[in-house]
Amino acid sequence: MPAASERRILARAAVAVVPLLLISLYPLQKRIENLIAGTRIQSDELLFTSGKALKNMSLGYSSLLADIYWTRAVQYFGGHLSRQDDRVQELAPLLDVTTTLDPQLIVAYRFGGIFLAEERPVGVGRPDLGVRLLQKGIAANPANWHLRYDLGLIYYWNVKDYKMAAQSFWDAGNITGAPEWLKQFAASVAAKGVSRQMSEMMWAEAYQSASDPRLKDNALLHLSALKTQDDLDKLREISAAFRQRFGRPPVSGEELYRAQLVTVVPKDPAGYTYLFDPDGEPHVDPASPEAAQVRQESSREK
């Protein structure tokens, strides 16, 4: 049979099969939507089976279907998070189905792992689910060092298991193409545990290595809170200098400016002026977006 005839036959077959595929998948998609909308997280076996069933029924279009579910996962997360809805924890089943359909969809592991682990209101507050998703990604993509790096971040930042964090960074550093400083990270975390300088380095690297804008925004949120903590430490020193010079604590940043102890009135990264307690202790304006995040970051250093 001529090649041109073969191509025409294949083209007609594709035109006939694709609509049938979409029609056959629609009831299954609606069924899973209803399941997710109406129930809490169920057993891992059931969810994994659902993902495998979808893949088996996709007739070779599993990557396309994964993209659809990935989009739904992002929309679902944003919608429920903005309403402070407890059902945001059902992001995990969507991500599990997505990554079963396409085990090489790296952004789903990275986005999902970090935001499952992050505390509310930024994320879901389930680091165990974040660890599980990233471990699934590592098993499917053993040559991707970013997944092990993200796993180290969760162990370091959310779980506070510095031994596991150091091991994850070390494993990431052993992968071909990974930056050399990863093993230095591993050694520093193993020796010192948590430190603000190390945290700043980690989130700066997370920002640089992230291709998804949501991951970049999340890294910037942490970096901003850490910058605020640095500002507060410096303001404590300046407050002590003001007290030594004038015999009393400062009542505002404007006083520090008028005393020429600072070059501008001190403001946090969100643009809110730092406030001072009667004893001269600086703090973030409660109305500032930085306030809640700084409380979380400060608690990690204790």
pTM passes above 0.95: no
- The neighbour count for residue 145, using CB atoms within 10 Å, is 22
- Answer yes or no: is 162 within a domain: yes
Instruction: State the average pLDDT for the chain.
Output: 79
Where residue 87 sits, what CATH number does that domain have?
1.25.40
Which residues share a beta bridge with 267?
A: 273
Q: What are phi and psi of 272, to 5 degrees?
A: -90, 135
* Per-residue pLDDT at 76 exceeds 50: yes
Last residue of a domain, one of 184, 207, 230: 207
Last residue of a domain, one of 185, 207, 229: 207
Does residue 177 sit in the same domain as residue 279?
no
Q: What range does the domain containing 281 cover?
A: 221-300
Does residue 106 sit in the same domain as residue 227?
no
Contact in structure between 109 and 149 (CB atoms under 8 Å): no
Indicate the pairing of strand 275-276 with strand 282-283: antiparallel
- Answer yes or no: is 213 within a domain: no
Last residue of a domain, one of 154, 185, 207: 207
Lowest mean pLDDT among 16-30, 58-72, 150-164, 194-208: 16-30
- Answer yes or no: is 149 within a domain: yes
pLDDT of residue 98: 87
Preceding amide of 282 cis, omega within 30: no
Does residue 74 sit in the same domain as residue 199?
yes
Which residues share a beta bridge with 103?
A: none
pLDDT of residue 252: 96
Does residue 129 sit in the same domain as residue 203?
yes
Does residue 143 sit in the same domain as residue 81?
yes
Does residue 65 sit in the same domain as residue 203?
yes
Q: How many domains does the chain have?
A: 2
pLDDT of residue 55: 61
- Answer yes or no: is 230 within a domain: yes
Does residue 77 sit in the same domain as residue 194?
yes
Does residue 147 sit in the same domain as residue 109?
yes
Does residue 200 sit in the same domain as residue 273?
no
- Answer yes or no: is 13 within a domain: no
- Answer yes or no: is 200 within a domain: yes
Contact in structure between 189 and 166 (CB atoms under 8 Å): yes
Does residue 52 sit in the same domain as residue 144?
yes
Q: Determine the length of the chain.
A: 302
Does residue 92 sit in the same domain as residue 201?
yes
The pLDDT-based confidence of 45 (bands split at 50, 70, 90) is: very low
